[in-house]
Amino acid sequence: MQKRLPLIAGNWKMYKTGDEAAQTAKRLKELVSGVSDVEVMIAPPFTALCQVAVEIAGGNIALGAQNMHWESEGAYTGEIAPGMLTAAGCRYVILGHSERRQYFGETDQSVNRKIRAAVAAGLKPVFCIGESESQREAGQTFSVLDKQIQNGLESFLLQDLESLVVAYEPVWAIGTGKTATKEQAQEVHAHVRQRLAEMIDSGFAQKLRILYGGSVKPSNVKELMAMPDVDGALVGGASLDPETFSQLVHYQG
C-alpha cells in the first residue's frame, strides 16, 4: 500500500489575537521540533498569519489559512486573495469548511472556484466535506459526500489535484464532543478514496491524504489514526492549546 505522510492540522477558527497566536505557535514549535514522520499545519485567523509566520520560521510547522477568495485581486471588500496568503507565508488553505457553508453561504460551486484558485497560486487546498446529522440519519451520507466531491472537483484534471488534501468532517461531530467511531471514519474514508479513484485516477486516490475532523482529541486520536484510510486529523478545539495539540502530533507515543 502507498505510504502517505500523516498530516495533523489545527484550525484555530475565530480564536486568538496576533499576540496570542504567536505565543501559541512559539510554544508549539518547541514541542514538535524533531517530528519528521508527521506533517504539522496550523491555520490561525488572517490577522495573526504574519506574526505566526515569524514564530514558526525555520521549524517544521506549515502555515495555513482558513478561507480565501478565488479572484487574484479586485473590489471585494473584506475578502483575502490567494497571493496575499502566499505572501504571508501560507502553504495550505482550508476550503469549504462546514461553518463557511452553513453561516456564510459557501456552495460546492464557490468551493470549486476556490480550489482552482488555490492550486493556481501554489497553495495546497484542504477541501472539507461532511454530512449533517439528519442526512446521516436518513442514510444519505455517501450521496451527500459524492455530490460535494463531484461538484467541488468538477472539471479538474489530474495534474491540478496533486497537492489536494481532503478533510472529512461530519457536521454532527464538530465541536460537539461526539466523534465518529473509528469504524464510521474508516468506512467514509474508504468510500471517498474509492470514489476519487473512479472519478480521477486510482494512483492519485492512493496518494491522496484524507483527514478526519470532528472532536479529535488526545483520547481518540490514536485509534482513528490506526485506520488504514485515515491519514491525519483536522482539529478545532483541541488545537488551541499547544500542549494538547502536541499530544495529537505525537499520537504514535
Q: Which residues are catalytic?
A: 97, 169
C-alpha cell at position 135:
442526512
Q: Does 104 bind ligand 13P (CB under 6 A)?
A: no
Q: Please tell me what DSSP assigns to residue 7.
A: E
Position 174 contacts ligand 13P (CB under 6 A): yes
Q: Please say which residue, 61 or 200, places its beta carbon nearer to ligand 13P.
A: 61
Given the complex with ligand 13P, which of 6 and 214 has the nearer CB atom? Answer: 214
- Residues 6+ positions from 86 with CB-CB distance below 8 Å: 121, 122, 123
**Where does residue 58 rank: exposed (0-12), middle (13-18), buried (19+ CB within 10 A)?**
exposed
Nearest to 246 by CA among 13, 4, 14, 40: 40
Q: Closest CB to ligand 13P among 70 and 245?
A: 245
153 is a site residue for ligand 13P (CB under 6 A) = no
Counting contacts by CB under 6 A, is residue 170 touching ligand 13P?
Answer: no
SS3 letters across 26-63: HHHHHHHCCCCCCEEEEECCHHHHHHHHHHHCCCCEEE
- The CA distance from 200 to 9, in Å, is 25
- Could you say whether residue 228 binds ligand 13P (CB under 6 A)? no
- Contact of 226 with 182, CB cutoff 8 Å: yes
Q: In this complex, which beta carbon is closest to ligand 13P, that of residue 82 or of residue 237?
A: 237
Residue pair 57/88 in contact by the 8 Å Cβ criterion: no
Among 82, 232, 236, 242, binds ligand 13P (CB under 6 A): 236
Question: Taking contact as CB under 6 A, which single stretch among the options 24-32, 46-54, 132-140, 229-237 is the one that binds ligand 13P?
Answer: 229-237
d(CA 191, CA 199): 12
Residue 232 near ligand 13P by CB under 6 A? no
Number of residues counted as binding ligand 13P (CB under 6 A) = 14
Would you call 190 exposed, middle or buried from its count of C-beta atoms within 10 A (0-12, 13-18, 19+)? middle
Does the protein bind ligand 13P through residue 11 (CB under 6 A)?
Answer: yes
- The residue (of 8 and 216) whose beta carbon lies closer to ligand 13P is 216
Binding residues for ligand 13P restricted to 187-216, rule: CB under 6 A: 213-216
Site string for ligand 13P, 55-94 (x = CB under 6 A): ----------------------------------------
Q: Applying CB under 6 A, which residues contact ligand 13P? A: 11, 97, 169, 174-175, 213-216, 234-238
